[in-house]
Structure 1
């Protein structure tokens, strides 16, 4: 059963209704990396009462996320070392709608993901503007980080994929990411062609999707697109947190480089 067929059978939900029912800017995220066939089996059983986000008759959307880090990879190292106070800074462009945001993702003291974001000009996706820095400094400080870190942040990784979003009957959301691809500032690229990232987003308790995955023997992988993409393209960085993923799905992937112009 192909993903598109599964999504086509779901009832649709508009973006404003999705946000009204499950905005979940503060939430618990659980991520699973699965082969495409296994992901489709899970979704076939879990999606019968789900609604799928639909905008302008589209149910899958292209995402382009640019992650920012310092030259010594402060943000990456905090993530790789599982520090309680860690953060990710990115711009996110929704390619099918033309909208974009500047986002700071942090962890609360209880392990929940907190996302703060503002609208952003897609033209500025590869940089942090003066207005962006002014927005980010107090947020970093409030989460225990040096607010001047933002002045050292540079584009470090681009993550591209296609995403569908489900609204489940228990009020949780689930995202389905396919066509996974990463590139860095040096033009190196790596892709996973037959893997899917399923992510549940709930206010805390396990969602319907989590329980379906657990019954099938799948457990959260802790995968981070920023973390695993950076580790795959920069083997000199510490990568213990994602060693199993790098030895597994990424082991057959090929890193390509741009030809010099």
Structure 2
């Protein structure tokens, strides 16, 4: 990771330790009648700036559902997702939710989610194109993001030319290129071998603390749990414990 460099900070941002994102009484139900499933049942959670929050639990416990609600990818059946600016994310019109997702939230997926025909740099650039950032600024910010994750020399390579760990680092760069203050990652090391997973985990922890990002990560990985600032445990859609 010797290529890593400091990433430009925004002049203002959430104070470290301040709650940036919160869930209050989150319920999410799928189906109805005999097929009704309670994926979440009254979950409360706070995600502070500059802290790594890990959500753990067995398969089917509601981890992905919770992340989808926090990230504005889904809406709760009841309860609220709150932003630090006082807005209720889960109650905003869809166009406003989309704006929050583009401007404030970065996503990292287990399956990497890269476009095969695009280079690493082009994949990282996608969020900036959606935001209609001018070309010159896009180039600068893409270069900065790839430098940050140690992939500056791989900018022109396509996903099939990169290892799994490198692909996930491209995914992290893409999540960070918009300079979000919230990072949401669903099993980001789930498809990686243990050594590569450790490298990606180190990167996530360092970036969270160094950049003051409010990070929430769903994982089964005990090593990442051990490096979290808080661990939220779910079971059958309910929060059963927290470890700070």
TM range (shorter): under 0.3
Indicate the structure with greater helix content.
Answer: 2
TM-score (norm 2): 0.24
TM-score (norm 1): 0.23
Indicate the structure with greater strand content.
Answer: 1
